[in-house]
Amino acid sequence: MKPSPPPEEARRTPAWFLRPPLLLAVLVLVALFCTQRCTGKREEDLSRSRIIMGTVVEITVLGKTAGEASAAIDEAFAVMARIEALMTPHDPASDVARLSGALSALEVSAETAEVVALGERVAAASDGAFDMALGRLKELWGVEGEAPRVPTSAEIDAALEGTGVGDLIRDGQTIVKRSPDLAVDLGGIAKGYAVDRAAAVLRRAGVKSAAINAGGDIRLLGDRNGRPWRIGIQHPREDGRLLATLSLGPTAVVTSGDYERYFEVGGVRYHHLFDPATGYPSRRCQSVTVVAESAALADALATAAFVLGPEGGLRLLEKFPGAEVILVAADGSRHVSPGLQGAVTWP
């Protein structure tokens, strides 16, 4: 049967024509869409990165307009740069440089005092495996500089003089070194602290969901569009491969490894995580990832657990309720604290 011809009105109406009220609604929607795009009022994910503390810091903000997210990220970068200025050993005006040069008690910023206070807790709990006065040792090895080298044992002994639990004595914001020769190094904790401060800035700006990643020192706020964050942990021996993936809520996750800053002599890998008991890079681990409430704590615990190795590292983590660990020992064996097992996926 032949289809009947369409009614007159329909034949005169082109297919794309919309009745006036509908057309108006579409125009309003298009206009709204354009305005939001042009003025940055639409909510979208925004990621920006900047180099701070010698590493790429990436901040991703979710659920805010581009304008709001951008302003909050700028503020977060600014606070991180301020922490760097206080804690870098390379600027003579920094707290760390002034402390290293100090012959007697010195008053430092509230931020530096807070970092040292947390570091003291980890130093005591790790029986000195975490030590904030290894500045001379770090300088001697030059792992992060142009000309790294294996020092003599006499040089190592001299660089370790006066180090050990209680080498920095703090009273509020006043710090005194046990020996005037000690050089302070907050490299094992300062980056995590800067990440925490950035997170606080974002939260104050009304950001509910965000991720801050400072070269493996990560802090997560909220969730990822109603789902957990998924964080990939770099395999310590296979470039570009993941060791594991973690499903996490709002928390901090920090990795210390021997695979990024190192040099080799005679097939031996010398890296930047020193055992204060020997003055040599610790050989007990390949990588340690710590999940904790703050990035500063996770940072210090990851460094300390790396130095201590699997047994001591897991024992140290037990002293910090809520903190969890994935540790890859020197022989490649994996050790996961009980509280994290449900969050780990192995590839």
Please report, as ranges, the residues that interact with ligand ADP according to CB under 6 A. 129-132, 134, 138, 185, 187-188, 191, 215-216, 256, 261, 272-274, 276, 299, 302-303, 307
Say how far apart CA 134 and CA 274 lie, in whole Å.
8
- Binding at 202: pick from Mg ion, ligand ADP, none (beta carbon under 5-8 Å per type): none
Structure tokens at 213: 């990643």
CB 145 to ligand ADP: min, Å: 11
CB 222 to ligand ADP: min, Å: 24
- Binding at 138: pick from Mg ion, ligand ADP, none (beta carbon under 5-8 Å per type): ligand ADP
Which of 84/299 has CB closer to Mg ion? Answer: 299
Cα three-residue angle 196-199-203, rounded to 5 degrees = 140
CB 194 to Mg ion: min, Å: 12
Strand partners, 344: 246
- Binding at 182: pick from Mg ion, ligand ADP, none (beta carbon under 5-8 Å per type): none
299 is in an annotated binding site: yes
- Half-sphere exposure (Cβ direction) of 83: Cα atoms closer than 13 Å: 28
Which of 199/205 has CB closer to ligand ADP? Answer: 199
CB 54 to ligand ADP: min, Å: 8
Q: Which residue type is seen at 123?
A: A
Which of 73/212 has CB closer to Mg ion? Answer: 212
> Which residue has the CB atom at the shortest distance from Mg ion?
303
How many CB atoms lie under 10 A from the CB of residue 27? 11
CA-wise closest residue to 306 among 247, 240, 260, 241: 260
Binding site for Mg ion (CB under 5 A): 188, 256, 299, 302-303
Say how far apart CA 274 and CA 73 lie, in whole Å.
34
35 is in an annotated binding site: no
119 is in an annotated binding site: no
- Binding at 187: pick from ligand ADP, Mg ion, none (beta carbon under 5-8 Å per type): ligand ADP
CB 38 to ligand ADP: min, Å: 40
CA gyration radius, the chain:
26
Say how far apart CA 181 and CA 229 lie, in whole Å.
45
Tell me the helix, strand and coil percentages in the chain, rounded to 5: 35, 25, 35
- Binding at 207: pick from Mg ion, ligand ADP, none (beta carbon under 5-8 Å per type): none
Give every CB contact of residue 329 below 8 A, 6+ residues apart in sequence: 284, 285, 286, 309, 310, 335
CB 101 to ligand ADP: min, Å: 18
Output the known binding site: 188, 299, 303
Output the known binding site for Mg(2+): 188, 299, 303
